[in-house]
Amino acid sequence: MADRITLQLARYRPEEEPEPSFQEYEVPCREDWVVLDGLNYVKDRLDGTLSYRWSCRMGICGSCGMTVNGEPKLTCATFLADYVPGPVRVEPLRNFPVIRDLVVELGDFMRKLTSVQPWIVREEEKPLSEGEYRQTPAQLDLYQQYSMCINCMLCYAACPVYGLDPKFLGPAAIALAQRYNLDSRDQGVGERLEVLSQDEGIWGCTFVGDCTRVCPKNVDPAGAIQRYKLTAALEWLKGFFVPWGAR
């Protein structure tokens, strides 16, 4: 295996440059080094002006997502050795405005995420004296897969619908909505339905499936969307016979 590899890094400093460009850096290519190690080497040893996000380095925080040789990846889980002899091209995630270098703007994603209320909604809380809300293992299994989302936004970078229509709610937001819809402790299904059943919600998805393919946690957002389409269709039919408030 080669002991060095070339990183081609997207650079964009809006205060200095009208358009993004690429800069090449040669970094060590060790067997246990991931792309993030290469970026940290550049930042620490070669060019301190490089900007990018990272935090935990353990595939949990989701902040180090970037485009590596054309694919959305967590750079903390993508090994340099897999790209020998190189070069390795690292760019910001697609479909998001670029703030600087490899850093993208998160505002649109955060607004969409909060719009589906990704938390437990209760119409009324039982007294503390009655104890906690218990769940069976089977009830946990219903939503556990969707709870693994780490908000890395790789699915948004891979989604052709979001790339063409920024109003689309997007894979992660819908998958997380489904996580709470399936939680036995939650009572917010009706509130989320109003958001998810709009044209920009589940019906905007064309089921390409790239969101599921790039997900580092096997959440399967494409599956969550298709599952919720069935739920929404059934609720629409039931609406002809039973008002939502009477169910």
Same structural domain, 98 and 173: no
Amino acid in position 83: Y
CA-closest candidate to residue 166, choices 230, 96, 73: 96
Domain of 19? 4-104
* Mean pLDDT estimate for the chain: 93
Query: Which DSSP category does 128 fall into?
Result: G
* pLDDT at res. 239: 66
Instruction: Give per-residue pLDDT as tens, 90-104.
Output: 999 999 999 999 999
Burial of 49 (0-12, 13-18, 19+ CB in 10 A): exposed
Instruction: Quote the CA–CA distance of 216 and 225 in Å, as a whole number.
Output: 18
Query: Is residue 244 pLDDT above 70, yes or no?
Result: no
Instruction: Give per-residue pLDDT as tens, 107-144.
Output: 999 999 999 999 999 998 989 999 999 999 999 999 99
Instruction: Give per-residue pLDDT as tens, 174-233.
Output: 999 999 999 999 999 999 998 999 889 999 999 999 999 999 999 999 999 999 998 888
Same structural domain, 201 and 113: yes
Out of 55, 76, 104, pick the residue that ends a domain: 104
Same structural domain, 18 and 86: yes
Instruction: Name the pLDDT band for 243 (thresholds 50, 70, 90).
Output: low
Same structural domain, 38 and 126: no
Same structural domain, 27 and 123: no
Instruction: Quote the CA–CA distance of 176 and 66 in Å, as a whole number.
Output: 21
Instruction: Quote the CA–CA distance of 46 and 40 in Å, as a whole number.
Output: 10
Instruction: Give per-residue pLDDT as tens, 7-49.
Output: 999 999 998 888 999 999 999 999 999 999 999 999 999 999 9
Out of 42, 70, 104, pick the residue that ends a domain: 104
Query: Is residue 238 pLDDT above 80, yes or no?
Result: no
Where residue 16 sits, what CATH number does that domain have? 3.10.20.30
Instruction: Name the pLDDT band for 246 (thresholds 50, 70, 90).
Output: low
Q: How many domains does the chain have?
A: 2
Out of 39, 74, 104, pick the residue that ends a domain: 104
Burial of 70 (0-12, 13-18, 19+ CB in 10 A): exposed
Instruction: Answer whether 108's CB lies under 8 Å from 159's CB.
Output: no
Question: The whole model's pTM is what?
Answer: 0.91
Same structural domain, 156 and 206: yes
